Chain A
């Protein structure tokens, strides 16, 4: 059975954790450089604000209606996200991170399981231990789990496909509301008489194979309870995460560095393939929570890159230095993960009037070469050696940045 766990208004909820004065108040979170609204809570939505609003246009309205505005604080979000993931890992044998605020949890199909009860337990544990609200959709396929989650948000937070009046729920959801469909595909479906999610589910497979893309066919299978999407696929990701569990536990730093290097390279390659540059790197290191014989360790650190980059050596050095800070001797590690966050278009990132990095043309030439070799000989044709990350200054507009409450001892919340 697949659980889709999603934090409600994740960024806004993170900002509220350590601001008791903001309970039930509207909150808006801005993109890198305080450009546009990227997240907002229900209270802000009900005032008419929307994702994508340009901040300079709504700044006055925010002021007037008492909306609290924040710059994106990925240090905080990554830390809270890692806390959620480590709780999921404790409660479920197989966790797949889909984005900074969404995970898929896979539970084996036991006899007579109380999946809704397990869902409530996850939700309550996360709320008690981190203060974060999550909602959970439970279904035999990912598409249906996401669908259940969208309903769960309005109905108590935990919803199982098996408890639903399935056909009528699908009938009252437009086809575009289903994971992987979207507005553009919705118009195409309409031409074939598919309006609701139920129409899509009942669309004959032989016609689907003729008229729809392979993802469309998979979505139909998933709606019918047949798992068909086994790899995460998305148009353009906002974060890219690469990790694998080791076949055998690793206890020494050299091997961990080697593993992390290859995952980082994979993540950077994926970022480059979609033309993105990363703002932040986060590394996650853990032992096997199911191994009761050894001591447990699980930790995460993230760092801001001096500027958005898709230059592998810079990102790799940042990732490795995080790993060295995380590493403790005497543990049998099971998993290392790298996450590239705050992805934005590489072209936008380059639009600076005065180039401060004199090595930039050389870096770009090198990465063009890297891309060409990767395209021709595969992702693992080239490997990196090590270099040293120098101290570099931060340069991004973040006028409304909240403190790194959970990661900087000088900025921890105050108590009276």
Chain B
């Protein structure tokens, strides 16, 4: 902000706000949770161990999405794939688990953040 005295800044009115990653990654703040990927289950699909997952619970999961779901007493992340009339959860190695009525999907992964 320009001071009380002197010339007003010539840039006044042209200030840009800094780029905020939240604006890019988070579409619905109350429904968005961050989670940490552990292990190489999805390495061949481009999600590596220690990646930060942006999980949006309000984004409906469709085939081709990566979803976080409850797997026994842990959370797991897999790709939702279509198998004819039904859906399955697939890791990067070709292992699949059928989606049943008991499957509790936590949310859809809408972004991945990784330090290089």
- Inter-subunit contact A129/B75 (CB<8 Å): no
**What residues of B have a CB within 8 angstroms of the CB of A416 in the complex?**
38-39, 41, 71, 74-77
> Tally of A-B residue pairs with Cβ under 8 A?
80
Q: How far is the CB of A26 from chain B (nearest CB, A)?
A: 16
Binds B, one of A159-167, A276-284, A405-413: A405-413
Partner of A414, one of B31, B35, B41, B71: B35
Nearest CB of B to A300, in Å: 9
Mask: chain B, 1-35; 1 = CB below 8 Å from A; 0 = not: 00000000000000101001000000011110111
Binary interface encoding of chain B residues 33-46 relative to chain A, with 1 for a CB under 8 A from any of its CBs, else 0 = 11111110100000
Given A20-B75, A328-B20, A415-B38; A129-B58 close (CB under 8 Å): yes
Q: Are B29 and A20 in contact (CB under 8 A)?
A: no
Q: Are A130 and B30 in contact (CB under 8 A)?
A: yes
What's the nearest-Cβ distance from chain A to residue B29, in Å?
6
Of B30, B72, B77, B106, chain A has the most CB atoms within 10 Å of the CB of B30
Contacting A at CB under 8 A, from B64-116, are: 68, 70-77, 104, 106
Task: Judge whether A87 and B30 touch: CB under 8 Å.
Answer: yes
Residues of B within 8 A of A129 (CB): 28, 30-31, 57-58
The closest CB in chain A to the CB of B76 belongs to A416
Expressed in whole angstroms, the Cα–Cα distance for A328 and B28 within the complex equals 17
Give the size of the chain B interface in residues (CB under 8 angstroms).
Answer: 30
Chain A hits for B77, CB < 8 A: 415-416
A355 within 8 A of B: no
Closest to A406 in B: B33
- Tell me the smallest distance from the CB of B75 to a CB of chain A, in Å: 5
Q: Is A398 an interface residue (CB 8 A)?
A: no
Give bound CA distance, A20 to B77, whole Å.
14
Q: Given A83-B30, A298-B29, A413-B35, are A128 and B58 also a contact pair (CB < 8 Å)?
A: yes
Q: A388-416 CB contact bits vs B (8 Å, 1 = yes)?
A: 00000000000000000110010011111
A20 touches B70 (CB 8 A): yes
Q: A20 vs B15: C-alpha distance in the bound complex, in angstroms?
A: 46
Cβ of A14 to closest chain B Cβ, rounded Å: 13
A412 with B29, Cβ < 8 A, contacts A21-B73, A21-B74, A129-B58 known? no
By a beta-carbon cutoff of 8 Å, the part of chain B in contact with chain A is 15, 17, 20, 28-31, 33-39, 41, 52-53, 57-58, 68, 70-77, 104, 106
Query: A residues engaging B (CB < 8 A)?
Result: 18, 20-21, 23, 82-84, 86-87, 128-131, 298-299, 328-330, 405-406, 409, 412-416
Other A-B pairs beyond A87-B31, A128-B57, A130-B31, 12, CB < 8 Å: A20-B75, A21-B74, A82-B30, A84-B30, A128-B58, A330-B17, A405-B33, A406-B33, A406-B34, A409-B52, A416-B41, A416-B71
